[in-house]
Structure 1
Amino acid sequence: MRRAFLLSLGIIAILSCTSCEDLDNETPIIERITIDNITLPEGFTITKLYQPMANNQGSWVSITKDDQGCFYTSDQYGSIYKSTLINSPDKPDSLSVEKLDVSIGRAQGLLWHKKVLYALVNSIDKTIESGLYKVYDSTGGRDLNAVKQLKAIHGEGEHGPHNIVLSPDETSLFLVFGNHTDIPSDVRGAVPDVWHEDNLLPVIKDPSGHANDRMAPGGWVARTDLEGEHWTLINVGTRNTYDLAFNRDGELFGFDSDMEYDMGMPWYRPIRLNHMTTGADYGWRTGTGKFKDFYPDNLPGIANLGQGSPTGVVSGSGLKFPAYYQKGLFLFDWSYGTIYHAKLSPQGSTYEAQITEFLSGIPLPLTNGIVGSDGALYFLTGGRRLESGFYRVKYEGTLHSEILNLKERSKGKKQRRLRQQLEALHLKPSETKLPFILKYLDHEERFIRFAARIALEHLDYELWKDKIQQKYSITKTIALAIAIARHGNDIDRLKAMDIILAIDWSTLKPTEKTDFIRGLDLLLVRMQRPLPNHQSERIKETLLPSYLTETNAINEEVCKILSYIQASEIIAPTLDVMETDSDTESMKALYLSGDITQRSEQYGKDVEQMLHNMPNAQHISYAKSLSYLGKGWTPDLRERYFIWYGKALQKAGGKMYTKFIKAIREQALSYVPEDSKAYLLSLSEIKTPENLNEIDTVKQPVGPGLNWTVELLMSAYEANKTKADIAHGKKMFRATLCVACHSIKGEGGSSGPELTKIGSRFSVGDIGEAIVNPSGTIGDRYRYSNYYMKDGSVVTGIIINKDETTLELSTNAFSLDSTIEIKNDSIVKVEPSPISPMPPGLINSMNAQELTDLIAYMLSAAGK
């Protein structure tokens, strides 16, 4: 039974759940009720306390509270507000809100501590610089009247600076940043500064241009003191973690996002809960380069939750809720309007997670939350200028004990202490601890092994580079090889390769084989000079005999290495598998089912279409590896290979699925003789019932047109909506070129936001504002940049590809294939463009009824 089907029981996933001490037989409440279109467990009540937009106070995305129970919130694009709960007879369940008279706002992170309001500002506005600030009373009282910048941070937008949490000992701040935020040169520490893309085969970057200029190490977490003077890099490799929280054991957790355009691909990673340990790398890399969970040089998530847009993470400690909810974490998902609860049970030095759905609504774009002084859960909705709300959730049932005294658990404490001892050596390396570090390189628990290797890598390389020559366990030997790959020279890498190739592959366990392959990967990819031929032959002799007889994961990784060394013997057997093995059921476990996908216009339709027409991610991995194999192809093998592309292009996936498949095919064509390319392309062409680019066949608006304003649009819709023709509106969606950039129910382009169910979040006025004034709000994924050139010209576009010398930019939102190249050394500066790639005036050729039909079609896609 698929994971998501368990929602009928209130449970999404149970990952190897075992009994755990002090749970007191607590379980989630299964029975559910609906209040104001929000579904939550029986016994709970929910109240909407405030609507910021009704008071022209923007869309709130961050929240904290002071020691008197007052709340502080920030508009994503505006000011910071102080709110006081009112519960008088004449104004029950409401807020008194005032704007702070300070010079900053746009804070995606807020934290109150010791009379100071800390704000992590995320700004594209030049008048407010992104970074960490403190807001305080210059006289020592409680009137917040002064602002001090503690540190500037280069990053902005939806993948920029995010949230702040206080350390359990209340002496430091932990801050989280998305993968579009640069790590300052003076922020280093627990993570060895040797990160790299570390992909053996070249990475194919996102055809839409998203994050194509963002290289390793991705998103990151830092710690600083309360004055923001001393900064330490804690971990890296996330995509876009928005928030953090500590659990009862003092361990840090984050909720990381996926790249929904990658759905259906072997490099796709679902949204996931991460145990954010010191020194960790979680393996985000741009495009196709994301690390697999089992790679030993990164750490996996402890729970996958399918699709969504993770935002807030809130510890249940202090809630007047049943004990089950107090002991875990609440995870907020913006896209699907869902709050999940994560019950964490110690498993070695880390945790396993039971994820249950706590609360959901349509629409309910959740941003962040906090435990109130009264033991209620308070949360915000909003973001991207959507309708914003301030909610309170209370439990009205009987509690056995109102607030638990949650102490650190004894289960797993010994392992956690061992891991923490190793992590301490990330920050204060000690040569005398080398024997201690070496001892735990092959510990049975993965997080401890990882911490030991990172501790080793913080020591002087000369101290440990020759340790691999000693007789150690296979796991320890491979760990040393990985460390040498990352820190050594080619002579040492070749010596390490000799040692691991001497290991008897046939005797290895599956986990040892995946470590072996990844160690070999890293030694190869970090080599500065060509690999000697005899080493290629040794690799082939080791891996080729058992190729395609291992697990799927091992077979995929072996295919990469054998393609890299040009082992043409793999072509025919790989094609046999790609043509005959079509089981995709196991791949569906990564994706949500219809009862959740219906909550989101951003993801839902893509997920549903993909599950009905599922691509085989394993076969795509094989195809990508073979695309770099330049020899050994016969005409028959090439025909079979390119016919596979035609079948793959008929499948459904994320928005970039087709373009990724074509990009892999383009790489394969680079090895094809010129006189064969046209024929092979014809074998792989996708046959579509309709070409969306053939706009000439669509009847154009009759007019007469008008220079439409938002007010005129709203007035025209109200006057003509009873006569709206939805079918004609669909034609207008195409005639006005909307379809070139936007899709509705799977039809249309992908260079602009998905519009299915747009009416579930936006009013007619909001839709009008977006059409008439497209530059008012521009999502990060769709924002172009201005490149100021040495010759005085300005080039505007979004990066499609990048190498050491050249940028390839898409300059036309109507066609991602319209690109130009500019040289890196010809660029003077780069700034985000304030102008949307969507031009204004697209509707000005339409008359009132035609415009009404267009809007009615958009609303109908949302079920309105």
Structure 2
Amino acid sequence: MKGVTLLLLSFTCVLFYSCHLDSDNESPITEKVTIDAITLPKGFVISKLYEPTDKEQGSWVSITKDDKGNFYTSDQYGSIYKSRLTKSEGKDVLEVQKLDLNIGLAQGLLYHNNELFALVNSNDEKIQSGLYKIIDSNGDGTLDRVKTLKTVNGNGEHGPHNIVLAPDGQSMYMVFGNHTDIPSDVRGRVPEVWDEDNLLPVIKDPSGHANSRKAPGGWVAQTDFEGKDWTLITVGTRNTYDIAFNRDNELFGFDSDMEYDLGMPWYRPIRLNHMTSGADFGWRTGTGKFRDYYPDNLSSIAHLGQGSPTGVLDGRGLKFPAYYQKGLYLFDWSYGTMYHARLTPKGSSFEAEVTQFLSGVPLPLTNGVVGDDGALYFLTGGRRLESGLYRVAYEGELPSEVLELKERSEGKKQRDLRKQLEVLHVSPSADQIPFIVQHLGHTDRAIRFSSRVALEHLDYAHWKDEIKKDNPSEVSVGLALAIARHGDDAARVEALKTLMGIEWQSLEESKKLDFIRGVDLLLTRMDGSLPNAVQEKIKELFLPAYLASSEAVNMELCKILSYLQVEEIVALTLHEMETNTSTEGMEAMYISGDISNRSEQYGKDVENMLANMPNQRNISYAMSLSYLQKGWSTSARERYFKWFGDALQKAGGKQYLNFIRAIQKEALANVPENEQEYLSEITEIAAARRADYMEDVKQPEGPGVNWTVELLMSAYEKNYKNADFENGKNMFKASLCISCHSMNGEGGSSGPELTKIGSRFTVGAIGEAIVNPSGTIGDRYQYSDYHMKDGSVITGIEIDEDDDTIEVSISAFTSNVTTKVRKDRLESVELSKISPMPAGLVNRLNEQEITDLIAYMLSGGNRNNIKK
């Protein structure tokens, strides 16, 4: 690891060191130490206690503890284990035993009142995903019986995740990824009127990821200990793995990004969310993700750049310096980093000071728990990686005492007001309408949001006329958002007319954006056509402000004006895209190189993008203009399609180029057919500088071998000292690995990034993946079998869908080879057990060539890492 690193996070992550009522000017320890390749603050010590993979006990991803000092852990793909830490000859020894029960695959575990709860994430036919309880049926102290409490439809990396105990100990909360359906009988605090809510057509991920998933995305539910009564708490996350309550009894979650979206205007970094009652955090598929500033979703309280969020742990009970007891620990699997988030009340919500607590390479963090001894215990593993149980303790000079951390008085008045409104999410009362409406205009965003949710839980008839009253502008906007979701077209038109009477340009920036989103959502939810007079009024209101406002306002105005086919914006927008090409400030949401080099998953993508940054603002304009059919001259069309060629020279996430192509495709659909070929050529000419990965590739000399894992390992062991880096790189291309996998940012995107495969996988494991690619298939790369009524089967991954057809990519080497599956001819769909990666791709290679290929992969594309 390189030196001492303190990550300063931008956007809503606020660094502060001012004195608070209970802080005593505490601050994080900046001096670091490195122990066994793990870096953490000075005074802390870390030790690895156990390696379950060495005992063939799988890869542990969840952990809880009972009141007797025992740990319970679960293998992601296997059993649940009970363990206890003891001393033997002065050394710590973990005694582990497997629960001999038909239960496992638990990504969430909670021990409470002598019962073990398991949130199972399964694609195994023997046990369904869902909530289970393991009990001691005869009182002999042994858990011996499994009870099914509730099953759910969802599995895989975006399936059911963790469980936590409610602060009052009377219920529990569970978190689910966006590939888990909300059961039809689960209702509660979120009004069930969610929709995609994008004014312009959404472009789905060209790789097919999450294309069939619609609103509301990932969710949190509360239930009793018998699992009978479930209450929906929040929606709209992407893939929050874990949740935790802080000292103020407020719920927080650590949500994931979509790394394929790097460089795009809809990209959202990993984020710490304050998960208040009824919240929607705005995840939508493809390009449809809500912007942070949209008032119909809540923003994060901290952005942390890139990563793969896993565990969240509150610091209460740790025998650490006071600073480290007063916050949340956030686990990042990809970058091997554990962050500490110190939360300070800000209105009814919080702001965060985020610092790195520990880091290592590789260190795939999964979950953690506060031990009875005041140490922090955490797991590494997941996806069948090498797994470990670690302990972090404090042995420094500072006093380490366990603090009694009660709810703070700071911000309590605002939190209490929000909670008054949240009561109305469960027990709606028409008598409270004046109270609710009053707070639609509150200065606190979370209170405004809770007010609107309370209003939307009431019958629309009770509040439909509130917008006709003489309300402050922000109250009218809040009412308009609610009317868009609950009213009919006549009510939406009247709401638009009300908004048109507001002097919106005199509003402060955040209120301008709220206002524009109010108009946007009313237009989006319209079932019929918009009256011409209202359309003209919107144009008169917005066109003079276009490109004379802030960046965010301009992007939102471009979208609405394109939707309304306002042709005057063509020349204005093209001039802006050609002259305002600066990317200053756009890199703020991305992590620095000292962290990105810890990740094999997409660290290199971040570095390449920062070195060749796309202009996210202009991509947003290009998307909006793709919908606009009016106002185009021949020269304007040419300038526009040349822009796509220039954009294709930039770098971003794995689907960056494909997304640019998809926007271009949408634009071409609105061009006269006789001009389409010519305009496409303009793009290709401008994009001609793109690298050809297969240029000058030399084919294998052979003779080939029908490789097995054992033969491959033997060949490598015999020849690795003579490995040729350049030939290995050539074999990576000649064997078509580069068509699907990237190394150091070069290559395809339909398979996993391989830059740091050598830091996590052995030669045998790499050989297994090459020789038997169907042995383990990642969720993101798994195809489906579409069984047709005529007996035929189409195998591929969905990339788009409409009412009549499903568009399926059927080639592992490119997403451009597709076919349409007609729904009226479809019998059933099931996940394919065959990997899209063909077996036998390396069977043309001889012993030295296969050795060179494996050595190149182990080196991560760095000749200095070739093992001799």
Query: TM (normalized to structure 2)?
Result: 0.97
Moved more, 703-712 or 189-198: 703-712
Stretch deviating more after TM superposition (177-186 or 509-518)? 509-518
Alpha carbons of 1:857 and 1:688: their partners in 2 closer, same or farther (altered >3 Å)?
farther
**Residue 40 of structure 2: aligned partner:** 40
Structure 2 CA distance for aligned equivalents of residues 589 and 676 of structure 1? 40
Query: In 2, Cα distance between the equivalents of 1:530 and 1:603?
Result: 44
Residue 481 (structure 1) aligns with: 480
Partner SS state of residue 86, structure 2: strand
Equivalent position of 2:518 in the other structure: 519
The aligned counterpart of 1:357 is: 356
Query: 2:647: which partner in 1?
Result: 648
- Bigger drift between 532-541 and 11-20 goes to 11-20
Q: 8 Å contact 1:759–1:862 — kept in the other structure? A: no
| Residue matched to 2:304 | 305
How far apart are 1:505 and its partner, in Å?
Answer: 2.6
* Residue identity matched to 1:676: E
Instruction: Note if 1:687 corresponds to 2:701.
Output: no
Shift of 1:790: 2.5
Q: Distance in 2 between matches of 1:827 and 1:234?
A: 36
Return 283-292 or 397-406, whichever deviates more: 397-406
CA distance in 2, matches of 1:10, 1:506: 37
Q: Is the 8 A contact 1:312 1:369 kept in 2?
A: yes
Q: Is the 8 A contact 2:694 2:733 kept in 1?
A: no
Q: Which residue of 2 aligns with 1:400?
A: 399
Aligned 8 A contact 1:368 1:379 in 2: yes
Q: Which runs of no fewer than 5 residues in structure 1 stay unpaired? A: none
Moved more, 243-252 or 666-675: 666-675
Matched AA of 2:511: E
Q: Deviations over 1:518-569 (max 9, x none)?
A: 0111110101111122221111000001110111000000000000000010
CA 1:267/1:151 → structure 2, altered by over 3 Å: closer, same or farther? same
Aligned to 1:49: 49
- One-letter amino acid of the structure 2 residue matched with residue 160 of structure 1: G
Q: Which residue of 1 aligns with 2:422?
A: 423
Deviation at residue 818 of structure 1 after TM alignment: 1.1
Partner SS for 2:296 = coil
5+ long unaligned stretches in structure 2: none
The answer on whether the counterparts of 1:760 and 1:862 sit within 8 Å (CA) in structure 2 is no
Give the whole-Å Cα distance in 1 for the aligned partners of 2:488 and 2:197: 16
TM-aligned CA deviation for residue 464 of structure 1: 0.2
Alignment pair present for 1:204 and 2:203? yes
1:771 aligns with 2:770: yes
Q: Deviations over 1:708-733 (max 9, x none)?
A: 22121111101000111111111111
Report if aligned partners of 1:196, 1:216 keep a CA contact under 8 Å in 2. Answer: yes
Which residue is 2:86 aligned to? 86
Q: 1:168 to 1:689 in 2, by over 3 A?
A: closer
TM superposition shift of 1:147: 0.3
* C-alpha separation in 1, matches of 2:423 and 2:455: 12
Is this contact kept in 1: 2:394–2:400, CA < 8 A? no
Match for residue 346 of structure 2? 347
Query: Whole-Å Cα distance in 1 between the matches of residues 781 and 451 of structure 2?
Result: 41
Q: Which residue of 2 aligns with 1:320?
A: 319
Quick one: distance in 1 between partners of 2:556 and 2:368? 41
1:828 positional shift: 3.0
- 1:117 partner SS: strand
Q: Check whether the contact 2:505–2:512 (CA below 8 A) recurs between aligned residues.
A: no
Alpha-carbon distance in structure 1 between the residues aligned to 2:593 and 2:33: 20
How far does residue 69 in structure 1 lie from its aligned partner after superposition?
Answer: 1.2
Assess, with a 3 A threshold, how the Cα gap between structure 1 residues 449 and 602 changes in structure 2: closer, same or farther: same
> For residues 247-258 of structure 1, what are the structure 2 equivalents within 5 Å?
247-258=246-257
Name the aligned partner's letter for residue 382 of structure 2: G
Counterpart of 2:693, as a letter, is: L
| Structure-1 residue corresponding to 2:156 | 157
Cα offset, 1:693, TM superposition: 5.7
Question: Which residue of structure 2 lines up, in the alignment, with residue 72 of structure 1?
Answer: 72
Shift of 1:32: 0.0
Partner of 1:631: 630
Q: How does 1:667-678 map onto structure 2 within 5 Å?
A: 667-678=666-677
Deviation at 1:689, TM superposition (A): 5.3
Amino acid at match of 2:84: T
Counterpart of 2:692 in structure 1: which amino acid?
N
Q: Distance in 2 between matches of 1:433 and 1:829?
A: 49
Superposition pairs for residues 681-760 of structure 1, below 5 Å? 681-685=680-684, 686-688=687-689, 690-692=691-693, 698-760=697-759
Q: CA separation in 2, counterparts of 1:679 and 1:402?
A: 73
Hey, what's the Cα distance between the residues in 2 that align with 1:426 and 1:396? 47
1:490-538 C-alpha deviation (Å, 9 max, x unpaired) = 1111111111111123322222211111011111010111112222111
Give secondary structure in 2 for the equivalent of 1:341. Answer: strand
- Residues 6 and 355 of structure 2 are in contact (CA less than 8 Å); yes or no, is this contact kept in structure 1? no
Q: Are the counterparts in 2 of residues 207 and 659 from structure 1 also a CA contact under 8 Å? A: yes
Listed one character per residue, the Cα deviations across residues 605-652 of structure 1 (whole Å, up to 9, x for unaligned) are 100011011111000000100010001100111111112111111111
Superposition CA RMSD, Å: 1.4
Give, in whole Å, the separation in 1 of the partners of 2:828 and 2:153. Answer: 14
Secondary structure of residue in 1 paired with 2:199 = coil
Contact 1:76 1:106 in 2 (8 A): yes
- Residue type of the alignment partner of 1:44: F
Distance 2:617 2:179 in 1: 30
Q: Is the 8 A contact 2:729 2:861 kept in 1?
A: no
Q: Give the whole-Å Cα distance in 2 for the aligned partners of 1:693 and 1:95.
A: 51
2:327–2:341 CA contact under 8 A, matched in 1:
yes
Instruction: State the SS of the aligned residue for 2:67.
Output: coil
Whole-Å separation in 2 of the counterparts to 1:10 and 1:400: 26
The alignment status of 1:8 with 2:28, answered yes or no, reads no
Q: Is 1:27 the counterpart of 2:27 in the alignment?
A: yes
Larger mean Cα displacement after TM superposition, 645-654 or 667-676: 667-676
Residues 150 and 750 (structure 1), Cα distance of their counterparts in 2 relative to 1, 3 Å cut:
same
Q: Which residue of 1 aligns with 2:565?
A: 566
The question of whether the paired residues in 2 share the 8 Å contact of 1:802 and 1:808 is answered with yes
- The aligned length equals 857
- The alpha carbon displacement at 1:400 in A equals 3.1
CA distance in 1, matches of 2:638, 2:795: 41
1:503 matched to 2:509? The reply is no
Partner of 2:178: 179
Instruction: State how far apart, in whole Å, the 1-side matches of 2:6 and 2:157 are.
Output: 34
Contact 2:76/2:383 (<8 A) preserved: yes
Task: Indicate if the aligned counterparts of 1:7 and 1:357 stay in contact, CA closer than 8 A.
Answer: no
Aligned-partner residue type, residue 692 of structure 1: Y
Task: Describe the SS at the equivalent of 1:63.
Answer: strand
Deviation at 1:805, TM superposition (A): 2.0
1:388 paired with 2:387, answer: yes
- Secondary structure, counterpart of 2:573 in structure 1: helix
Structure 2 letter corresponding to 1:36: D
Is this contact kept in 2: 1:136–1:142, CA < 8 A? no
1:775-786 aligned within 5 A? 775-786=774-785
1:120-166 deviation digits (Å, cap 9, x = unpaired): 00011111110000111111342011001100010000000000000
Tell me the amino acid that sits aligned with residue 687 of structure 1.
A
> Percent same amino acid at aligned positions?
65
Secondary structure of the residue aligned to 2:305 is coil
Alignment CA distance shift 1:176-1:432 (3 Å): same
SS in 1 for 2:138: coil
Give CA-to-partner distance per residue, 1:706-758, whole Å, 9 cap, x none. 22221211111010001111111111111111111101111111000000111
Alignment of 1:269-284 (within 5 A): 269-284=268-283
Secondary structure of 2:492's counterpart equals helix
CA distance in 1, matches of 2:582, 2:4: 25
Query: SS at the partner of 1:267?
Result: coil
Report if aligned partners of 1:384, 1:777 keep a CA contact under 8 Å in 2.
Answer: no
Aligned equivalents of 1:441, 1:6: Cα separation in 2 = 49
* Cα distance between partner residues in 2 of 1:35 and 1:300: 37
- Which letter does structure 1 place at the counterpart of 2:5? S
- Matched residue, 2:443: 444
Q: In the alignment, which residue of structure 1 is the partner of 2:371?
A: 372
Conserved? CA contact 1:758–1:861, under 8 Å: yes
Measured after TM superposition, the shift of residue 31 of structure 1 is 0.3
- Cα offset for 1:6? 12
1:116 aligns with 2:93: no
Change in CA separation of 1:161 and 1:741 when aligned onto 2, cut-off 3 Å: same
| Per-residue deviation, 1:10 | 5.8
When normalised by structure 1's length, the TM-score is: 0.98
Q: CA deviation at 1:794?
A: 2.5
Aligned-partner Cα distance in 1 for 2:52–2:284: 37
Mapped partners of 2:764, 2:85: distance in 1: 31
